[in-house]
Copies of this chain bind each other. A is one copy, B any other.
Amino acid sequence: MHVHHDQLEIRTNGKGLYEITDEVQSKIDRFGVQSGTATVFVQHTSCSVIIMENADPTARSDLEKFFDRLVPENADYFMHSSEGSDDMPSHIRMVLTRTSETVPIVDGQMQLGTWQGIFLFEHRHAPQGRKVWITIIGKM
């Protein structure tokens, strides 16, 4: 059994979904793990990691519209707003989604379903540099 860690750095340009499936699989390929798990972990409290439908762009835009309605930026009871109107909503969206996700690796491949992709879900308007740990545990 082996454990490998590596980090992705992702530049975002505003709220939305940024697919990282290929980047995660590349790390698995490089380390040569054939059987185990890949854990994807974002080091931030204003973006998330999610698994989402990756074929039809309207699925992603509808998801973003839903979150804009569920966690509006103008709620009058928010006190935590020193970084702007998207500050507190970004923390709430992160809590409602995920900070880590663990995916099985079989025969060297992540076992994602046909329509599943791994995405960074950015909740801030301004461009950000995001760090994501990929931890791979398994056998060569």
List residues of chain A with CB under 8 Å of any chain B CB: 1, 3, 5, 35-37, 39, 41-45, 50-53, 56, 58-59, 61-63, 65-66, 70-71, 75, 77-80, 82, 88, 91-92, 94-104, 106, 111-116, 131, 133, 135, 137-139
Inside 8 A of A36's CB, which chain B residues have their CB?
3, 135, 137
Docked-complex contact B91 and A104, CB < 8 angstroms: no
Q: A3-B138, A5-B106, A52-B45 are in contact. Are A97 and B96 (CB under 8 A)?
A: yes
The reply to whether B62 and A80 form a contact with Cβ atoms under 8 Å apart is: yes
Closest to A111 in B: B133
Shortest Cβ distance from A65 into B: residue: B77
State the CA gap A79–B111 with chains docked (Å): 28
Q: Which residues of B contact A116 (CB under 8 A)?
A: 43-45, 99
Q: Which residues of chain B are near A43, meaning CB under 8 Å?
A: 111-114, 116
The CA of A59 and the CA of B39, in the complex, are separated in Å by 27
Known A-B contacts A59-B88, A104-B39; the reply to A99 vs B51 at CB < 8 A is yes
- Apart from A3-B139, A104-B133, list 15 A-B contacts with CB within 8 A: A1-B1, A3-B35, A3-B37, A3-B137, A41-B103, A41-B104, A45-B52, A45-B53, A45-B113, A45-B116, A53-B91, A56-B82, A58-B79, A98-B98, A99-B101
Q: Tell me which of B44, B58, B63, B98 contacts A113 (CB under 8 A).
A: B44
